[in-house]
Structure 1
C-alpha cells in the first residue's frame, strides 16, 4: 500500500531543493485522487481560473463557519476543505499547524468543481505562513546585526569639529520603516510574474511599514550621543518591527485585517501559489545595503556634499571637468559626487576658501563591510529622488513611491538595494545649461578632486535659475558660504 503523501513531499521540498517534481498529473491523479491533477501549479493559474472570485464567494457564504471556529478563517477553511478544524497556521512555534495532508483526502476530493480553487487557496495559505516564518529569520540573522552595529559610523562618514555628537542622525529613523517594508515585499516578490501579484506585494509593503512605524515610535526618544548608537538603534527598530509584522500572520490566518487588508489581499494574484520560500541571503543583503545607505546619507546630509553634472559624458564643454573616479554617465550626461572640504588649518592663502575632495568614507564604499554600497548608488539614488521631488524627498514620499512601484510594477525596490530612489537624497545641481551661458570663469564650474581644486560659480548655475541655485546652496549646507564665488567680480546672487 502506498503511503499518504503530504504537500511538503509533493510540492514544497522539490522547489526549495531545486529538483523539479517529475511525476505527471495523471500519475498524481492515480495516487492522490482528483486533487493530484492540479499539482505543479503556476502563479498565473490563480487568475486564469478566477480563484480570487471563488474565494470571495466562499468568504461571503461562510461567515458563520469562520466566526464559529476558534481558529477563524484558517480553521473554518481547513474544516471545509480537508475536514481538519485544527488547521490554524498560527505562528506559535508549531511546525505542523499548517501542514497539508491532501493525497487521498476524501473531503477535498469529494468537492467536485471546487477541488481546484480550494487546493489553490490551501496551497497559498500554507506558503504565506512559510513566508512569514522565513522573513522573520531573514530580518533577524546575525549578519544584519553585525553590519549595522559599528562603532565608527561618524568617524568614517562625518568630518567636523565634533564627530561624536550628531543629533541630526535621529532623522534617519523616518526612512527605516520604508526600508523594512521594501525588504518584506522583496521577500515575497514573484519574479517575472510580479505584475500579476502587485496587489499582494503592495499589501506586504504596507503591512511591514505599519509594523515598523510602531517600532520607530518606541525609539523616537533615543539619542545618538555616540556614533555606535546609530547601528544599535537601527538594528533594534528592524528586529522590533518584525515582532509586530510576524504577529500579522496570526491576524490574517484568523480572518482579521492587518493594516486594512485581510488575507485575500496577501494571496491575491496567486502571489503565494507557487512561492518557493524566502531567499534569506538576498533579503538580508538588500536590507543591509539599504539601511547602511540611509545611515550614510543622513551623515552626508549634514555636510557640504552634493551631486553636480548634466553636461556631456567625456567632454568638458567649457565648464571644467569633474572627478572621473566618482562619476556616473547616465542618459549621455555625466554626474559627479563632491565634498567641499573647508580649510582645516589657519591660512591667508587661497586655501582659506577650501577645496573639493572625495566625501568622508567614500574610499570605504564598494568593499569589505560596505561592499553593497557604492558611489554610483549614491549618485543614481540621489538623481532619482531629485527628479521626483527636488530637495524635498521625504520619508512619506519614499513610502508612497515604493508602494506605487510595486502596485504598478514599474520597479522592484528591493532588487535595487542602495541605488533605489531616495535611499540617498544628496542635493543635485544640473549645470547642463551653463554650457551655453556667459558666466565668468565658467571653465572652473567643475573641478577634479584636489587641494588646489576650488570651483568657481559666478552665475545661477543650477538649471540657469537663481532660485534653484539658492535652493541647492541651502540644501548642500553652503548658505553664507563664500568659497564658490570668491573670485567673481560681482556677487552672483545666491
Structure 2
C-alpha cells in the first residue's frame, strides 16, 4: 500500500504534465504550497538537513504537548505539524489514522524554515507505520504456516538407534527469536537504504527479537518428542510474535521505548524517509527458509553430523575424496557434509565401526516443503559461522552479527536466507593440513558415502591442532567414539 502522500503526489502528475506552458515545479508548488518542494526526498536528506537534531530539540521543547496528548508523540506531532490531534498511527485496524493529506495544509505550510524537517518526520513516521503493518501481513502469509506445519520433522531429519526424547530441540526457541528479529529488520532495511541507518538497524533488530522473546513464555513447556509437530510450534511462535509487533508500533508511536529504543532511533539516518514498503514475498520466503534451516540444524546438532574439507577442489591430494553430491567449492577449497551412520546390526566384521552417509532427510532438501534449503546452504552457513566463532556460535552471536551486517551494510541476512551464517552451525574440521602430514591412513580421512566407506583419523586432523581436533570430535557428538580411530596403531589424542 502506497503512503497517502505518494497517492496525493501521483494524483497531481496528470495536471502538471498537462499544463504544457509550465516547465518547472511551480505547478505543484502553487497547488500544494511550500511543502511540495520537498516531495522527492532521499534517505540522505535526513542527515544532510540535520533532522535528527531537529526532532530531538522538538521532542525536548514539546514534552508537555506529548504527555497531554491521548495519542502521545504521534498525536502531539500531528497536532503541531498538521493541526490534527487524531494522527495516532496506532495499529488498531484503522486505515486512516496515519494518513498524510498535506496539500494546502495551512499549519504545515506556515512553519517556515521548519517545513522541511517537519515533513520529513511526518513522512518517516507514516512509512514506519506501514513497515509494521507490512511485516505483520508477511508473517501471517499462509505459505509460512504451511511450510512450517509439518508433523514429520523429527522422523525426517533425525535418526537415532535409541528411542529417546530429543529434549535438546528446546534450544531452537532461543534461535527463533533471533530469526524473527533478522527477518523483521531485513524487511525494513533493504539495499535501498542500508549504509546510512546504523541506529535504525540496531533498533529494528533488537525490537524484532524483543517481539519474539515476548511470545516465548507460553511455549516453554512445549515438548519435542521425535514425532512432535515442531513446525506447528514454530509457526505459532511466529504468528504470536505479531501481537508484539503491534505493541511495538503502538508504543513507539506514543513516544515510549520498545527494544530499548524510542521512535527517534527507528527513524534515525532517514531509514524510512524514502522507504518503499515491505516486500512481503521476500520477507515470507526469507523467514520460511531461515526458520526451516534453523529447525533442521537443531535436529542435526543432536547427531553425528559434520563438515570436513579444506583440501583442493579436485581432491587427489592423498587425503581421500569426499562425496561429490554434497560438496561446496569456495576459495579453491572443497568442503563436504557427512553423517556417521553407526552400525545398526550385529556384526563382527569391519561394518561394526559404521560408515559415512548422507544426513537424514538431506535427499529431501531443495524440493517441495524444503525447497528453500539446500545441502550447499548447510555447508556455507556453517563455514561462515565457524570462521566467526568456531564451535561457539550461539543466539547472542547471531543477533550481534545480524545487527552489525544490517547497520553497516556489509550483508543483507534476509537475502541470504538459509545460507546466512549461523542458520546452520554444523561442526567443521579443516583437514587441509593433513596433505603434507605423515598421519597413518591419511588417504582415508575423506571418503565418499557408502556402506564400505569407513574414514580413518589418526592424528590431529583438524588444522593440525590436537585441541581443535578434540573440540571438533566433541562438537560432532563423537566423544569416546572409536570408529574413526579403530585402525590407528596409537591413540591419536582425541
TM score, norm. by length of structure 1 = 0.95
- What is the rounded CA distance, in whole Å, between the counterparts of 1:358 and 1:99 in structure 2? 55
For residue 216 of structure 2, give the secondary structure of its aligned residue in structure 1. helix
Contact 1:293–1:423 (CA<8 Å) still a contact in 2?
yes
- For residues 99-118 of structure 1, give each alpha carbon's deviation from its aligned partner in whole angstroms, at most 9, with x where no partner exists: 11100111111111111111
Contact 2:190–2:412 (CA<8 Å) still a contact in 1?
no
1:13 Cα offset (Å) = 9.4
- For residues 29-83 of structure 1, give each alpha carbon's deviation from its aligned partner in whole angstroms, at most 9, with x where no partner exists: 1211111111121111111121111111111111111112111111111111111
1:150 Cα offset (Å) = 0.3
1:342 Cα offset (Å) = 0.9
Partner of 2:7: 9
Please show how residues 212-231 of structure 1 align to structure 2 within 5 Å. Answer: 212-231=212-231
Partner of 2:273: 273
Query: Aligned pair count?
Result: 485
- What is the rounded CA distance, in whole Å, between the counterparts of 2:56 and 2:426 in structure 1? 46
- What is the rounded CA distance, in whole Å, between the counterparts of 1:139 and 1:12 in structure 2? 29
1:162 Cα offset (Å) = 5.1
Any unmatched runs of 5+ in structure 1? none
- What is the rounded CA distance, in whole Å, between the counterparts of 1:395 and 1:425 in structure 2? 11
- What is the rounded CA distance, in whole Å, between the counterparts of 1:330 and 1:392 in structure 2? 23
For residue 214 of structure 2, give the secondary structure of its aligned residue in structure 1. helix
Partner of 2:336: 336
Contact 1:12–1:276 (CA<8 Å) still a contact in 2?
no
1:391 Cα offset (Å) = 1.1
CA-based RMSD: 1.9
- What is the rounded CA distance, in whole Å, between the counterparts of 2:189 and 2:399 in structure 1? 17
- For residues 370-418 of structure 1, give each alpha carbon's deviation from its aligned partner in whole angstroms, at most 9, with x where no partner exists: 1110111111111111111111111122112212222332221111111
Partner of 1:353: 353
Please show how residues 299-338 of structure 1 align to structure 2 within 5 Å. Answer: 299-338=299-338
- What is the rounded CA distance, in whole Å, between the counterparts of 2:152 and 2:60 in structure 1? 56
Contact 2:8–2:101 (CA<8 Å) still a contact in 1?
no
TM score, norm. by length of structure 2 = 0.95
Q: Are residue 264 (structure 1) and residue 251 (structure 2) matched? A: no
Contact 1:144–1:235 (CA<8 Å) still a contact in 2?
yes
Partner of 1:33: 33
Partner of 2:21: none
1:486 Cα offset (Å) = 1.2
- What is the rounded CA distance, in whole Å, between the counterparts of 1:475 and 1:54 in structure 2? 52
Residues 447 and 183 of structure 1: CA distance in aligned 2, closer, same or farther (over 3 Å): same
Contact 1:6–1:102 (CA<8 Å) still a contact in 2?
no
Residues 276 and 388 of structure 1: CA distance in aligned 2, closer, same or farther (over 3 Å): same
Any unmatched runs of 5+ in structure 2? 19-23
- For residues 307-336 of structure 1, give each alpha carbon's deviation from its aligned partner in whole angstroms, at most 9, with x where no partner exists: 001111113211111111111111111111
1:12 Cα offset (Å) = 8.2
Residues 12 and 317 of structure 1: CA distance in aligned 2, closer, same or farther (over 3 Å): farther
For residue 196 of structure 1, give the secondary structure of its aligned residue in structure 2. coil
- What is the rounded CA distance, in whole Å, between the counterparts of 1:11 and 1:199 in structure 2? 30
For residue 328 of structure 1, give the secondary structure of its aligned residue in structure 2. strand
- What is the rounded CA distance, in whole Å, between the counterparts of 2:226 and 2:490 in structure 1? 43
- For residues 146-199 of structure 1, give each alpha carbon's deviation from its aligned partner in whole angstroms, at most 9, with x where no partner exists: 111101111111111356832221111110000000010011014243011222
Please show how residues 40-189 of structure 1 align to structure 2 within 5 Å. Answer: 40-161=40-161, 165-189=165-189
Partner of 1:235: 235
Partner of 1:206: 206
